Chain A
Amino acid sequence: MSHPPSSPLLELQNISLSFKGVKAITDLSFAVAPGEICALIGPNGAGKSSLLNIINGVYRPQSGLIRFDRVEQRSMRPHAAAELGIARTFQNIALFKGMSVLDNVLTGRNLKRRSSWIEQALRVGRAAGEDDRQRAAAERVIEFLRIQPWRDAIVGRLPYGLQKRVELARALAAEPRLLLLDEPMAGMNAEEKAEMSRFIVEVNREYGTTVVLIEHDIGVVMGISDHVVVLDYGRKIGDGPPGEVRRDPEVIAAYLGTRH
């Protein structure tokens, strides 16, 4: 995807966000083309997570525009974002800790339900057949991410690396058009990172899912992304293909520190 198509899937225009007067993001604009893997990089506190929170409506920016699939919005709402097909994972895993892996993945499919809660409670109407279809879809994701052995385990008791994978499974279960990943490989060893990278690339290739991810490991970022956006102190300081961004003097300064 070296030539972005004419209309981006996601476009942010002049976004600004502040908390009680402290600026987190200042006048930021960038676009994500359909089908690409876009990496957001930058030092800690650069506003990367806040940006994801704006894209799926957890935070509402003070100013700016979001355009998703050509529909313009002042700000998102989490529920509306999910309905548009935006799924995400969190920096500090946000799984439902008291539930099994399977149940967690099934919650990811809640928007695909058509039967009402009354039908489900009384086990009539559309409920039964739909249960099977939902289960089958969830099982496909579980198989894809190779977490079958832990299907019935309570999520809170699983090791960290697996929890990260279950969270990705829950996001994928929604069959998203845009997948937001907040440090999917944080705290992983090289082998686990390689595995997770492979999953992300496979999702992108097989289902054409557009991915926006935050990652600190520059090697991984350069390896899997089509497009890199660099943030520093809430401003964009770099935007382009990985090879180009890596040579940008301003980016190098922000990352390695300028010698004064």
Chain B
Amino acid sequence: MLYQEAGQFSTRYADDRRLFRLRQDRLGLALLLAFAFGAVPFLGNDYWFSAILIPFLVLSLAGLGLNLLTGYAGQLSLGSAAFMAVGAFAAYNFELRVAGLPLLASFLLGGVVAALVALLFGLPSLRIKGFYLIVSTLAAQFFVQWALTKFSWFSNDNPSGVITAPKLEILGADFGSPAGRYLLTLGVVAALFWLGHNLVRSELGRNWMAVRDMDTAAAVIGIPLLKTKLLAFALSGFFLGIAGALWAFTYLGTVEPHGFDLNRSFQVLFIVIIGGLGSILGNFLGAAFIVLFPLLLSNLAGLLPAGLIDAGQLENLQKIVFGALIIAFLIKEPEGLARLWRRLRERARLWPLRY
């Protein structure tokens, strides 16, 4: 009964359109945001900010970016990390070469450049369908990594292609401390999730799902396929690009093209699979899992007598368990953690009764 929805009727279409229809959900979100913005910066320590919360937030955003393309629009991509890299290096160059450019503007521009690159590699999607499309996203993956390493202009002539974050300052306020970087990341991620949530519930979001579920029928009812698919690529690239810029600026501080390799793309894909394809919440759940799981595993290994499992074996073990989990999820819960969460909520609706 805790989660009672009876008595909450939508009397206007606008009520149905709200971000969250139920009072409990709205209240929960408000509390969560208040806690994340107001309390966490004081409660958390540097380790939590730098090693857990910031990567969690950035990876959630990256998950959202890929989810728009794969979960909603149904276009499989193995090139997420490439678009993250483009966002990171573009934001770095804007910040470097345009004097006085505000930090947030460089994030935005980084996202826009990543969107344009994603658009370019999405162009074949009208003619190429299904698996054949992964060739285009893999081309993006390898080409971008090669170009960023090969042409040192992108990294301001750093010999190994490494870029370093500028001073994190907005309107004179310094966000350089771990808590500051956390707040900055949280603000950007929260704003983009609001945008992403609106997108998938708008006409465009419906068109994406229509193309995903059956593109011939979508064309027949007048959905412009090329525009719909290209917007999926571009917006996915935009979100991934900003995630990449955050990854470089607020999480790592310095980053090289190699940090955005194919394994990073897989990581983002796993977030989406584990969290739930076509779910907004799932991105957070998947990212939390990806960040926390290796920590949990190494802590568990730490409990064993010293020397029983070395770092190399731990990594192998992690790969095995990860692979097994992916398969287990696809078999048992193809809709991911988000589905498990929904079930839990159903329970809460009835609690303490069983039916």
Which among A87, A108, A121, A127 has the greatest number of chain B C-beta atoms within 10 A? A121
Per the 8 Å Cβ criterion, residues 9-33 of B in contact with A are: 12-14, 16-17
The stretch among A60-68, A93-101, A201-209 that forms the contact with chain B is: A93-101
- A residues less than 8 Å from B216 (CB atoms): 58, 78, 94
Per the 8 Å Cβ criterion, residues 171-225 of B in contact with A are: 195, 198-199, 202-204, 206-207, 209-210, 212-214, 216-225
Q: Is the CB of B210 within 8 A of A96?
A: yes
How far apart are the CA atoms of A103 and B216 in the complex, in Å? 17
Q: Is the CB of B13 within 8 A of A110?
A: no
Interface code A115-131, partner B: CB below 8 Å = 1, 0 otherwise?
10100111100011001
How far apart are the CA atoms of A58 and B213 in the complex, in Å? 17
Q: Is the CB of B220 within 8 A of A81?
A: yes
- A residues less than 8 Å from B114 (CB atoms): none
Q: Is the interface of B mostly helix, strand, loop or mixed?
A: helix
Q: A227 at the A/B interface (Cβ < 8 Å)?
A: no
Residue of A nearest to B212 (CB): A98
Q: A74 at the A/B interface (Cβ < 8 Å)?
A: no
Q: A111 at the A/B interface (Cβ < 8 Å)?
A: yes
A98-B278 in contact given A107-B210, A111-B222 (Cβ < 8 Å): yes
Q: A236 at the A/B interface (Cβ < 8 Å)?
A: no
- A residues less than 8 Å from B223 (CB atoms): 79, 107, 110
How far apart are the CA atoms of A79 and B223 in the complex, in Å? 7
Q: A106 at the A/B interface (Cβ < 8 Å)?
A: yes
Q: B231 at the A/B interface (Cβ < 8 Å)?
A: yes
Residue of A nearest to B204 (CB): A117
Q: Is the CB of B202 within 8 A of A110?
A: no
- B residues less than 8 Å from A174 (CB atoms): 221-222
Q: A88 at the A/B interface (Cβ < 8 Å)?
A: yes
- A residues less than 8 Å from B199 (CB atoms): 117, 120-121
- A residues less than 8 Å from B202 (CB atoms): 117, 120-121, 127
Q: Interface size on B (CB < 8 Å)?
A: 30
Residue of A nearest to B17 (CB): A131
Per the 8 Å Cβ criterion, residues 317-335 of B in contact with A are: none
Q: Is the CB of B13 within 8 A of A120?
A: no
A120-B203 in contact given A98-B209, A98-B213 (Cβ < 8 Å): yes
Q: How far is the CB of A154 from chain B (nearest CB, A)?
A: 11
Q: A233 at the A/B interface (Cβ < 8 Å)?
A: no
Q: How far is the CB of B223 from chain A (nearest CB, A)?
A: 6
A79-B231 in contact given A110-B206, A121-B202, A122-B198 (Cβ < 8 Å): no
Q: Is the CB of A108 within 8 A of B17?
A: no
- B residues less than 8 Å from A88 (CB atoms): 220
- B residues less than 8 Å from A146 (CB atoms): none
A95-B220 in contact given A120-B198, A120-B204, A131-B17 (Cβ < 8 Å): no
Q: How far is the CB of A130 from chain B (nearest CB, A)?
A: 9
Residue of B nearest to A167 (CB): B217
Q: Is the CB of A117 within 8 A of B220?
A: no
Which of A107, A113, A117 sits near B221, CB closer than 8 Å? A107
A99-B217 in contact given A79-B222, A113-B203, A174-B222 (Cβ < 8 Å): no
How far apart are the CA atoms of A171 and B220 in the complex, in Å? 10
Residue of A nearest to B226 (CB): A79
Q: Is the CB of A99 within 8 A of B13?
A: no
Per the 8 Å Cβ criterion, residues 167-181 of A in contact with B are: 170-171, 174
- A residues less than 8 Å from B206 (CB atoms): 99, 103, 106-107, 110
Q: Is the CB of A82 within 8 A of B222?
A: yes
Which among A78, A106, A122 has the greatest number of chain B C-beta atoms within 10 A? A78
Q: How far is the CB of B293 from chain A (nearest CB, A)?
A: 28
Which among B198, B202, B209 has the greatest number of chain A C-beta atoms within 10 A? B202
How far apart are the CA atoms of A103 and B220 in the complex, in Å? 16
A96-B209 in contact given A121-B195, A128-B14, A132-B14 (Cβ < 8 Å): yes
Residue of B nearest to A180 (CB): B220
Q: How far is the CB of A36 from chain B (nearest CB, A)?
A: 22
Which among B13, B203, B218 has the greatest number of chain A C-beta atoms within 10 A? B203
Q: Is the CB of B195 within 8 A of A103?
A: no
Q: Is the CB of B222 within 8 A of A103?
A: no
Q: How far is the CB of B190 from chain A (nearest CB, A)?
A: 15
- B residues less than 8 Å from A132 (CB atoms): 12-14
Q: A135 at the A/B interface (Cβ < 8 Å)?
A: yes
- A residues less than 8 Å from B210 (CB atoms): 96, 99, 107
Q: A83 at the A/B interface (Cβ < 8 Å)?
A: yes
**7 tightest A-B CB contacts, nearest first:** A82-B222, A120-B202, A94-B217, A96-B213, A78-B219, A117-B204, A111-B222
Pairs A–B under 8 Å by Cβ, sample size 6: A96-B213, A99-B213, A110-B223, A120-B203, A127-B202, A131-B17
Known A79-B224, A81-B220, A174-B221; 9 more pairs at CB < 8 Å:
A78-B220, A79-B219, A87-B220, A88-B220, A108-B221, A121-B204, A122-B198, A128-B17, A171-B221
